[in-house]
Amino acid sequence: MLMVTVKLFGTLRIDSGVKELRMEAGSVRELIPLVCRELRRQRPDCAVSEKDLRACLVAVNGVRVGARSRLRDGDVAAFFPTAAGG
Amino acid sequence: MTTYCGYMGRVILLDLGERRAEDYVWTDRDRELYIGGKAMASRILYDRLTGKETAFDPENLIVIATGPLTGTGAPSSNRFDISSLSPLTGITASSNCGGNFGHYLKKAGFDALIIRGKCDSPTWVEIENGEFHFHDAAALWGLKTAETQEALQKALDAAHGKSVRCGMVAIGPAGENLVRYASVISGERAAGRAGMGAVFGSKNLKAITAAGDAVPTVFDREKAAAHRKKWVAAIRSHPLTGRQLPKLGTAGLVSSMQLHGLLATRNYAGGQFDAFEAVSGEALAEELTLSNSGCLSCPIRCARRVSVDGREVKGPELETLGLLGGNLENADLEKICRWNYELDELGMDTISTAGTLAWAMEANEKGLWKNGLAFGETDDLSQVFEDIAHRHGIGNELAEGSKRLSEKYGGRDFAIQSKGMELAAYEPRRAVGQGLGYAVANRGGCHLNGGYLVVLEGLGLDVNGQTPRGKADFCMLQQDLMEAISMGGQCLFTSYGLLPAFLLKNPNGALTKTVNAVIPFFGPAVRLLNKLPELACFNLPLLPYPYELRYTTGMKMNIGKFIRCGERSYNVERAVNARFGVSAESDKLPKRLTDIPQDPKRPDTRVPLEQMKKTYYRARGWEKNGLPSEKKLRRLGIC
C-alpha cells in the first residue's frame, strides 16, 4: 500500500482537533472512510463524518483534484471545507 | 426632523475653526434616496466639494455617518462610516468601522456629523446629548490610540463625577504626522483605509467622544423583532456566518486562498505561499487565539482575541495575515499579531502599510531605491512602523504610499495599487472579476468596494476565475448590493449568509458544479436586473435587508428600490470623484496583474481588464470615458 500524508484545514481541523494523519490509501475516494475512521479512533467524540469529508475540496501536493484521483506514495492530500468572508 | 423611525433626525455641520455647530438640512426625501452611511456621506460631499479642494485643505470635509439601523438592535448593525477626500488617493473615499462610536453618536442625538475647517491647536471634541464641547488636546498629542482613549475616558469620568458610557474615535501619531494611510480607531476597531486619520490630523482633531440618552425608535417593533429572530437564527445556522467566521474569523480564508492561488505572495509575484500554514487561520486558532468577539449587536462574532506581551488585544484579520505574511515572505504569526497591535496603536492601515513595504522591498531588491528592506527579513519592522508614523528616516518616504514612491523611484509596474490605494490580499489573476472590481472601485484598490467577486470565484462558490464572461454584470450587482447593505449601517458579512448553504455544503455535488458552470452565462439576466431593478417590486425572505429597513424605518422598501439605492450611491460617489479627475483612465491595475500571467504556462492567468471595463461601463450605463452622464444622474435622482 501507499503511504500518504493527510492534512485537514478549516472547520474540519477545528472540529476534529486533528491537524495531520498518515494513512495508506490508493485514491482520494478510498482515503475518505479511512480518514473518518482514524479520526473517530483518535477522538471518539469527533463529529466529523464521511459526508463532511466528501464535501471538501481536495488538493494533492497543492493541486486541486477530484475524488477519483489516484494517490502515490509520499503524496500530501489536503482537505479544505468551503470558506468565504473576508 | 424626520417622519421615519430609526433616525435621530439631526445632521450637524461642525466648524472647527469657528467652534460652531449648526444643523444641516437633510430631508426625508434625502433619506429615501440615500438611506444613510456612506451613501449619505457621498451625497453630502457631492453637494459641498467643488473639485478644487485637496485632502489637507481646511475646506475638506469629514463626514461621519450612521445608518437608520445603527443602534436599533438589527443584526450586525453597529457600523458607521467616515468619508472625506483621501490624502492617499486625492479623491473621495469612505472607511467603514465596527467600533461603537456610531451607536453613541445616535445616543447623543445625531445621525451624522459633518466636520469642516481646522482647529488652531490640537483639540478633542465632546458630544453629549446634542451639545458640543471643545477641549484642548495638547496633552494627548503624541499619544497612541489606546492611551488616548484611556485618557479621554478618565477625563470624561472626572468631569461628570461618574463612569460615562460613550463611544470614541481617535487618531495616533500616524494621523498627527499626516501619514497618507493613517487610520481612525474606535475602541479597538479601525476605520483603516484611505487615510481618514491623516485628515483628522490635518485639522488638529485628535479625537471625538459621543454620549447621551437618546434611543432610536423602531417603526413596527413586533414585526422587526420577529424578523430579526428569524434572521439571527439563519445567520447562526449558516456554514459561513454560523461556523467558519465564529470559529476561524476572516483568517480562515488564508488556506482556501492558497488552494485557489489567490494568496498574495512576495508583492503579488504569485498566489501561493509555501509557508502559508504558519500564518493561517488554523494556526491562529490553535496557537494564539484566546477567544472570539464581536461588535455590538453582532451574532457572527468574527473577531479574534490574542495575547501580545501578556496583554489581550484584537487579533489580525485575513488582509493583515496575508499582506504582512506571505506578501513579505514572513511566516512568523506572533510577529503579525504584534504588528497588527502596533499599527492600530500608531493609527495606521495594515493593508497600505504592508503593501507599501512589499513594494519597497522589491524596489530595494531591484536597485531602484536602496532602503535596507528585504523580503523575509522582518526583525526590524516594528521600528520601521514607528519611523513611518513619526516620519523619521525612510519612514518619511514610506508614509507617502506605494504610488507616490513608484512615481519617484520607478517600479510602477509592481506598485500594487489602484487610484493610489494598495490592494487587499486577494491576488486577482486567479479571480479576474475581483481584478475588475479592484480597478473600478470608487475608493481605489478595495476588495469590498470592488464588489468582492472572489466570493463567486473560489471563496464560497467556485465559478471559473479566469473567464471574464458575466463578471462585469455580477460586479455591478454585488457593488450595488453591498452599497445598499452598508447604507443601513449593517455589516457586509451578513451577506455571506445569502449564499445558498446547500451549495457550500456540497461543493463537489453535481448541482453545485452545474451552478458554478452556468453562473457566467447569467450575465444578461443580471444585466436586466441591474438595468430595471424596479421589476423586483416585491420582497423575498432570501434578501432580508429591505424587510429590516421597512420594519425599522417605515419606508416602503423592496428589493428593486434597495438595489437602486445602492446604484445611486455608487454613481453619486463616482460623480463627485469625476470632479477630482477620475475617469476610465483611472480605473487601472499595475502591469504585473494585467500583463504578466501568474502561471507562465497559462496565458489566461492575468486580468483582462480593458475587455471587462468596457462591458462594465456599458452595464452601468456610463459613457466610454467611464463616467455617468448627466442623463444617467438625472434618472437616478442625483441631479
List the domain boundaries for chain A. Answer: 3-80
Whether A86 shows a pLDDT value over 80: the answer reads no
In this chain, the answer to whether the domains covering B11-211 and B428-635 adopt an identical fold is no
**Could you give the CA distance from residue A83 to residue A85 in angstroms, rounded to a whole number?**
7
- Tell me what ipTM this predicted complex has: 0.96
- Do A81 and B459 make contact, defined as CB atoms within 8 angstroms? no
Identify residues of A whose CB sits under 8 angstroms from chain B CBs.
Answer: 9-11, 13-14, 19, 54-57, 59, 62, 64, 66-67, 78, 80-86
**Could you give the CA distance from residue B346 to residue B183 in angstroms, rounded to a whole number?**
9
Q: What is the pLDDT of residue B569?
A: 98
In a 13 Å sphere around the CA of B243, the CA atoms on its Cβ side amount to 16
Q: Which residues of A touch B281 (CB under 8 A)?
A: 10
**Could you give the CA distance from residue A80 to residue A70 in angstroms, rounded to a whole number?**
18
Q: Which residue type does B202 have?
A: S
Calculate helix-pair angle for B221-237, B544-553, nearest 10 degrees.
Answer: 150
Per cent of chain B over pLDDT 70 is 100
**Could you give the CA distance from residue B352 to residue B420 in angstroms, rounded to a whole number?**
10
Contact status of B245 with chain A (Cβ, < 8 Å):
yes
Q: Which residue of A has its CA nearest to B499?
A: A84
- Do A86 and B318 make contact, defined as CB atoms within 8 angstroms? yes
Grid cell digits, residue A63: 493541486
Contact status of B122 with chain A (Cβ, < 8 Å):
no
Q: Furthest-apart CA pair in chain A: how many Å?
A: 41
Strands (E), B546-625: none
CATH class of B428-635: mainly alpha
Mean pLDDT, consecutive 10-residue stretches, chain B (639 aa), reads: 96 98 98 98 98 98 98 96 98 96 98 98 98 98 98 98 97 98 98 98 98 98 97 96 95 97 98 97 96 94 95 97 98 98 98 98 98 97 98 98 98 98 98 98 95 95 97 98 97 94 92 96 96 95 96 97 98 98 98 98 97 97 98 97
Q: Which residue of A has its CA nearest to B455?
A: A84
Per cent of chain B over pLDDT 90 is 99
Q: Is the dihedral of CA A57, A63, A68, A73 positive or negative?
A: negative
- Do B496 and A78 make contact, defined as CB atoms within 8 angstroms? no
In a 13 Å sphere around the CA of B73, the CA atoms on its Cβ side amount to 14
Look at the domain B11-211 and name its fold: Aldehyde Ferredoxin Oxidoreductase;  A, domain 1 (3.60.9)
List pLDDT tens digits, range B415-444. 999 999 999 999 999 999 999 999 999 999
Q: What is the pLDDT of residue B187?
A: 97
Cβ pair B482, B513 in contact under 8 A: no
Provide the terminal-to-terminal Cα distance of chain A, rounded to the nearest Å: 41
List pLDDT tens digits, range B130-139. 999 999 999 9
Grid cell digits, residue B34: 440615500
Asked whether the whole model's pTM tops 0.95, one would answer yes
**Could you give the CA distance from residue B416 to residue B519 in angstroms, rounded to a whole number?**
29
**Could you give the CA distance from residue B66 to residue B103 in angstroms, rounded to a whole number?**
8
CATH class of B265-415: mainly alpha
Q: What is the pLDDT of residue A83?
A: 86
Q: Which of B239, B319, B507 sits opposite A86 (nearest CB)?
A: B319
**Could you give the CA distance from residue A2 to residue B580 in angstroms, rounded to a whole number?**
64
Distance from the Cα of A18 to chain B's closest Cα (Å) equals: 11
Cβ neighbors of A77 (< 8 A, separation 6 or more) are A4, A5, A6, A7, A28, A31, A58, A59, A60, A71
- Do B244 and A57 make contact, defined as CB atoms within 8 angstroms? no
Cβ pair B107, B212 in contact under 8 A: yes
**What is the mean pLDDT of the segment spanning A24-51?**
93
Calculate the CA A68 to chain-centre distance: 14
Q: What is the pLDDT of residue B135?
A: 98
Whether A30 shows a pLDDT value over 70: the answer reads yes
Grid cell digits, residue B349: 492601515
Nearest CA-CA partner of B262 in B218, B319, B311, B220: B319
- Do B256 and A82 make contact, defined as CB atoms within 8 angstroms? yes
Provide the terminal-to-terminal Cα distance of chain B, rounded to the nearest Å: 23
Whether A16 shows a pLDDT value over 80: the answer reads yes
Q: Which residues of B touch A85 (CB under 8 A)?
A: 240-241, 244-245, 250, 253, 302, 455, 459-460, 493, 496
**Could you give the CA distance from residue B314 to residue B334 in angstroms, rounded to a whole number?**
13
Strand partners of residue B305 = B291, B314
Report whether CATH 3.40.50.300 matches the domain A3-80.
Answer: no
* Residue ranges of domains in chain B: 11-211, 265-415, 428-635
Q: What is the pLDDT of residue A1?
A: 62
Mutation target vs B (from A5, A6, A11; most B CBs, 10 A cutoff): A11
Grid cell digits, residue B475: 460586479
Q: What is the pLDDT of residue A85?
A: 78
